Structure 1
Amino acid sequence: MNKNNIKVIAFDADDTLWVNETYFREAENNFASLLSAYETKNKIKQELMKKEIANLPLYGYGIKGFVLSMVECAMELSNNRLNGKSINEILQIGKKMLEKPVVLLNDVELVLNNLNKKYKLIVATKGDLLDQEKKLEKSGLLKYFHHIEVMSEKKENDYIKLLKHIDIQPENFLMIGNSLKSDILPILNIGGSAIHIPFHITWEYEQVNSDNLNENYITLDTIKDLLKLL
């Protein structure tokens, strides 16, 4: 990465700017406890994951799709015997997730405040549009960003469309995020730069085997380390 070429820096949102996956894991545990009369908790979580992945083309990413997958999974595991009270409890799990506070990761605002003076900053994130807009509003970070892009997918073509939309060349673009699969590899494949900042929890669907990767990207321990690099 030649930092002198960088003009636009894009940040992933969930688990890069603020806590997200932790809430999904809490919800999975609550769901598994609710359905524990029908299967082991580990099996319930496995079946929920399968259902989530199968439903991604229909529901996309985010809490609402997750809730629908929980309902479907619960009905299948219970052989359609689950009562209305339990269905309502599943809905409450989802509502509580949507009402969670936005907890910024350490030093996020410090970093954005510094980089905003030298680069054009944008958000490039996946998820439900309404939910992500609400989280950005709650976060207090909107003032640092020139553009917000909530993407249905983060594949090479999706990034190409984004770069065309903001009128920037790949060599002038840097993506920062916690997911190798969504934030790093697609950008490298189209000629951009990427910095990986791992979060301590990664959704299974976003995990890749990094052993054989051509590491043309930088990995940092914390977002604050960006200030030494850029």
Structure 2
Amino acid sequence: MYKNIKVIAFDADDTLWVNETYFREAEVKFAKLLSIYETENKIDQELFKTEIDNLKLYGYGVKGFMLSMIECALELSNYKINQKTLQQIIEIGKEMLEKPIELLNGVEEVLQKLSPKYKLIVATKGDLLDQERKLEKSGILKYFHHVEVMSEKKPKDYKRLIKHLDIKPKELLMIGNSLKSDVLPLLSVGASAIHVPFHTTWAHETVTEKEQNGAEYKTLSNIQEVLTLV
């Protein structure tokens, strides 16, 4: 199935290392800070709505999330929130940026075994500075020929990447935790994709059966199973 593959691309967050868990923890802290103004469930809903509204301005990543938390806090408090609480919200974001990099089980083994046979790249969304920092701290940057930090992961973005790599779509295999970002767009442009779910998924990345439209792809329980396929 993967006999034509020359390049294997890996998503970064929640495919190579833990990420979404830290956002969930931050949301809990944020809801507790704002609990004098609204229920925690309502705060979660409003923060998510603010994040989605701001994606076109800030893109993905912790910094955009911080700005969305501040905006949401101002609105939920009717602009009465005190400066100390705003500082605490900023500290939540800084703590996220300073988190240690926790590689997922088997990641380095997979990269070690695949790197002699394939050109490995990172294809991820997020803030450029933050993703570069995480790669540097991860200790696995040495396995990758190229790092692509994308503002979006839509078919046109992958077509641009394929052109940049100077390969045919059928020569690219993408491995990632998001059906919406790492699997379905690849299949639509003629590339291959493997789904390795993470236990926590951001609501924005979920897809319906209708959106999957019968797409054929393999889902693995962990990244080490990739070695049985390629």
TM-score in terms of structure 1 length: 0.98
Match status 1:93 vs 2:92 = yes
Give the Å deviation of 1:216. Answer: 1.4
Q: Distance in 2 between matches of 1:111 and 1:213?
A: 30
Q: Which residue number in structure 2 is paired with residue 106 of structure 1?
A: 105
Give the AA of the match of 1:177.
G
Deviation at 1:171, TM superposition (A): 0.5
Report the CA distance between 1:210 and its aligned residue: 3.3
Please, which runs of 5 or more residues in structure 1 have no aligned partner? none
Distance 1:38 1:173 in 2: 49
User: How far 1:214 sits from its partner (Å)?
Assistant: 1.3
Distance 1:168 1:125 in 2: 19
CA RMSD of aligned residues (A): 0.8
Amino acid at match of 1:217: Y
CA shift, 1:209, in A, is: 1.3
* Residue 223 in structure 1 maps to residue 185 in structure 2: no
Deviations 1:13-65 (A, max 9, x none): 00000000000000000000000000000100000000000000000000000
Q: Is the 8 A contact 2:171 2:191 kept in 1?
A: yes
Q: Which moved more, 1:195-204 or 1:215-224?
A: 215-224
CA positional deviation for 1:201: 0.3
Residue equivalent to 2:119: 120
Q: C-alpha distance in 2, partners of 1:165/1:136? A: 21
Which letter does structure 2 place at the counterpart of 1:100?
Answer: K
Aligned residue number for residue 149 of structure 1: 148
The CA deviation at 1:213 is: 3.4
Alignment of 1:65-214 (within 5 A): 65-210=64-209, 213-214=213-214
Q: Secondary structure at the match of 1:3?
A: coil
Give unmatched runs, 5+ long, in structure 2.
none
Residue by residue over 1:66-113, the C-alpha shift from the partner in whole angstroms, topping out at 9 and shown as x without a partner, is 000000000000000001100000000000000000000001000000
2: CA distance, partners of 1:162 / 1:130 = 20
- State the 1:215 CA deviation: 3.2
Query: 1:133-176: per-residue Cα shift (whole Å, max 9, x none)?
Result: 00000000111000000000000000011111111110100000
Residue 195 of structure 1: how far off its partner (Å)? 0.2
* Seq. identity, %: 67
Q: Is the 8 A contact 2:8 2:118 kept in 1?
A: yes
Q: Counterpart in 2 of 1:5?
A: 4
Tell me what 1:52 maps to. Answer: 51
What is the CA distance between 1:3 and its match in structure 2? 1.5
TM-score, length basis structure 2: 0.98
